[in-house]
Amino acid sequence: MPESKLSPEIAEIERRFLNAGVVPPADRARGAYENAERLLAALHWLRPQRAAAAEPSNTFSLVGKD
């Protein structure tokens, strides 16, 4: 995609693709960018932020229970 026509969202996705070494084929680039944009928009639903206080501290133990 030409640099002059990139929206900020698409430019961010292209930067992420380049950092990961992903180069979508020209005939599939538009779909790849659209899917990545949708995934990034839904990412907050897939991976919500949790504070350390919300994590259970006594769930796992290296010591066996007798």
Q: What are 12-63's pLDDT values in tens digits?
A: 999 999 999 999 999 999 999 999 999 888 887 877 777 766 667 666 667 7
What is the reported pTM? 0.57
* Residue 56 within any structural domain of the chain: no
Taking CA atoms, 51 is separated from 21, 33, 40, 54, 65, in Å, by: 32, 31, 21, 5, 28
Total count of domains within the chain: 1
* Residue 28 within any structural domain of the chain: yes
How is 30-65 classified by DSSP, letter by letter?
A: HHHHHHHHHHHHHHHHHS----GGGS-SSS--SSPP
* Residue 52 within any structural domain of the chain: no
Write down how long the chain is: 66
Domain that holds residue 28: 3-47
- Structure-block tokens of residue 50: 């949790």
